[in-house]
Amino acid sequence: MSVADIQIEKDLHHDGHDDHHEQSFISKYIFSTDHKTIAKQFLITGIFWALIGGGLSVIFRLQLGFPDMELYWLKPLLGKWITAEGKIDSEFYLALVTMHGTIMVFFVLTAGLSGTFANFLIPLQIGARDMASGFMNMLSYWFFFVSGVIMFISFFLETGPASGGWTVYPPLSALPQAIQGSGAGMTMWLVSMVFFIASTLLGGINYITTIINMRTEGMSFTRLPLTVWALFLTAILGLLSFPVLVAAALLLVFDRSFGTSFYLSDIYIGGEALPHIGGSPILYQHLFWFLGHPEVYIVILPALGITSEIISTNSRKPIFGYRAMIGSMLAIGFLSFIVWAHHMFVTGLNPFLGSIFMFLTLIIAVPSAVKAFNYITTLWRGNIKFTTAMLFSIGLVSFFISGGLTGIFLGNSALDINLHDTYFVVAHFHLVMGSAAFFGMLAGVYHWFPKMFGRMMDERLGSIHFWLTFVGVYLVFFPLHYIGIAGFPRRYYSFTSFDAFQTFTDLNSFVSIAAALTFFAQFIFLFNFFYSIFAGRKASLNPWKSNTLEWTTPRLPGHGNWPGAIPKVFRWAYDYSKPGAKDDFIPQTVPLSETPESNLPNEVEEAKAEAKK
């Protein structure tokens, strides 16, 4: 740790003597190795993809909510995918849901969320000049960029983008005869995902190395802010699970292009029996969900970390149960690797395995519950400031509870029989993972915007954005529970074919309207975001009166983050409203020896030891 520090400090002094040797535009803003710039690159790219992913959902919600609507006006955008009758092509509908899922899960909530906040917060909050390897960090972004470019191009293929669902189960994803999107679109999906995984691994290795090796003096693991803990565990989960997706994808590439039979067997399609024998489509599902389940925690943990920080700061209270929070994240992280088959209860999995996975799955509800209780208790007897970030964090906790509770139904294999692949599942994961993680991301942007751009976002517009989005999300996803209990299957282009699904047409229209309004409310955020970058009110150094290290940097931290020496850390990040203290916060950089009036009995000894040094 110290070795790395010293070398970097030397570099910095060297920089200092040169007095801002000018970087070219390209090395400063494009191929930058500065973690703050890379974070902003991830954020802007994530916002771009969120708009596309959200836009796709509005298009397919039009089809679901208004099956009779004529959509000729979408022809300039969708071209031949609008049929002669003015309807969305039913195969393109599947492409829409597939790309919506892929983009949201991977590009927005993994890269956009982890990429942004791990890059931005880890060095700033642990007191490091930059990431362990700035170059790898840069590569991480550019691999993600390439992956996005490939995915984007696949929209313009003659046969359309991948359309077998975001989980791309073979044989559907392996056979272009079965669905057009499994042609070139699927090839590009797989190539894009390999680049994406490379990006995640490059980033993850960096986050882990940086957190372990480059913490400033005094920043022990038990003093790390919960954001850093969450990002640390997220990176570990990603590092252990994403390679398995590469393996799954590679075998799928072999099956698709080189005639192997890893996933294919006994298939008669297009008037011929295929030569594949002995493969198992279930093997793919095991491999996929071995990533896929940790992935949902990769998505939600950073959001929970961000929320911990924001709720504590704005309640002006220490986060309740700091150690329990870490413990529950460790438990969630560990358990997330051994619950994957709960996605497969009705695939013909051995029923005994089903029992085991039900048991493990329901256990994971315990640490999740602990986290929710701890957030609520942090609010209790606080002195709460409803900044926009705080509102989004409270919204996150609400979604996390609402969506988490329905997981208790789905994790129960006996109940999953009837609920599997219905809208109940759609409601469940959109609340607990989709919307909650999305709210974590927005909360993070509102909270750290002053540090990113040196200016404040407008709080009034922020509040309006929050209320429209929060109410909108509940209006979209809560009704889906009812539709799901009624047995409506997901990924259905239309419900007209079945007598059993002739109901709830009004409710479906309602959901679609709510979805469109929620989507358009995001433009308030976009305006606020871009306007404030250039013309927002200038931020003070510590606008939220927060304890963590990033607020000890200059308003616009330069390369190396702190102009002088890296600050030392003397206490945990949550000394808010400590009895006896004159302010309601004590930054981590304030030694215990300087605050004798507020030290707790167990800190008195520490303060003495400190003073002797």
User: Torsion angle, CA of 153/159/165/170, rounded to 10 degrees?
Assistant: -110
Structure tokens at 415: 């109940």
- Which helix (H) or strand (E) segment is 285 a member of? helix 281-315
Q: Is the peptide bond before 171 cis (omega within 30 degrees of 0)?
A: yes
Nearer CB in complex with other proteins: 60/144: 60
Would residue 316 be called left, alpha or beta, if left means φ above 0 and alpha means ψ between -120 and 50 degrees? Answer: left
Minimum gap (Å) between residue 592 Cβ and other proteins = 15
Residue closer to other proteins, measured from CB, 146 or 178: 178
Strand partners, 272: 269
Spatial distance between the Cα atoms of 156 and 515, rounded to a whole number of angstroms: 25
Q: Among residues 30 and 600, whose Cβ is nearest to other proteins?
A: 600
Give 481 or 559: the residue with its C-beta nearer to other proteins: 481
CA 423 to chain centre: 22
List Cα–Cα distances, 70 to 73, 74, 78, 86, in angstroms. 8, 9, 13, 5
Nearer Cβ to other proteins (235/249): 249
Rounded least distance, CB 543 to other proteins, Å:
9
Q: Which residues of 210-245 are buried (b: 16+ CB within 10 A; e: fewer)?
A: bbeebbbebbeeebbbbbbbbbbbbbbbbbbbbebb
Q: What is the DSSP letter of 387?
A: -
Contact 207, 172 (CB under 8 A): no
Neighbours of 28 (CB within 10 A): 13
* Calpha distance 259→525 (Å, rounded): 49
Please, what is the minimum distance in Å from the beta carbon of residue 314 to other proteins? Answer: 9
State which residue, 242 or 466, has the beta carbon closest to other proteins. 466
Q: Could you tell me if 282 and 343 are in contact, meaning their C-beta atoms sit under 8 angstroms apart? A: no
Those residues whose C-beta lies under 8 Å from the C-beta of residue 75, and which sit 6 or more positions away, are 82
User: In the bound complex, what is the minimum distance in angstroms from residue 485's beta carbon to other proteins?
Assistant: 5
For the chain, the first-to-last Cα distance in angstroms comes to 20
In the bound complex, what is the minimum distance in angstroms from residue 49's beta carbon to other proteins? Answer: 23
Q: How far is the CB of 427 from other proteins (least distance, A)?
A: 12
Least Å distance between CB 474 and other proteins?
Answer: 7
d(CA 49, CA 52): 5
Interatomic CA distance for residues 246 and 566, integer angstroms: 39
Name the residue nearer to other proteins (CB basis): 15 or 91. 91
Residue 14, judged by CB atoms within 10 A of its CB (0-12, 13-18, 19+), counts as exposed
Report in angstroms how near the CB of residue 263 gets to other proteins at its nearest.
9
Q: From the CB of 317, what's the least distance to other proteins, in Å?
A: 4
Cβ neighbour number for residue 467 with a 10 Å cutoff: 13
CB closer to other proteins, 44 vs 282? 282
Nearer to other proteins, 242 or 572 (CB): 572
Q: In the bound complex, what is the minimum distance in angstroms from residue 50's beta carbon to other proteins?
A: 21
To other proteins, the closest distance from the beta carbon of 251 in angstroms equals 15
Nearer to other proteins, 56 or 139 (CB): 56
DSSP state of 108: I
Work out how close the CB of 76 gets to other proteins at its nearest, in angstroms, rounded to a whole number: 12
- Measured from the CB atom, the residue of 29 and 498 that comes closer to other proteins is 498
Q: What residues contact residue 572 under an 8 Å CB cut-off, 6+ apart?
A: 222, 223, 318, 322, 588
14 or 266: CB nearest other proteins: 266
SS3 of residue 160 by DSSP:
coil
CA 551 to chain centre: 24
The sign of the CA dihedral 364, 366, 367, 372 is positive
Q: Which is nearer to other proteins, 134 or 281 (by Cβ)?
A: 281
Least CB distance from residue 385 to other proteins, whole Å?
A: 5
| Nearest approach, Cβ of residue 45 and other proteins (Å) | 25
User: Nearer to other proteins by C-beta: 201 or 427?
Assistant: 427
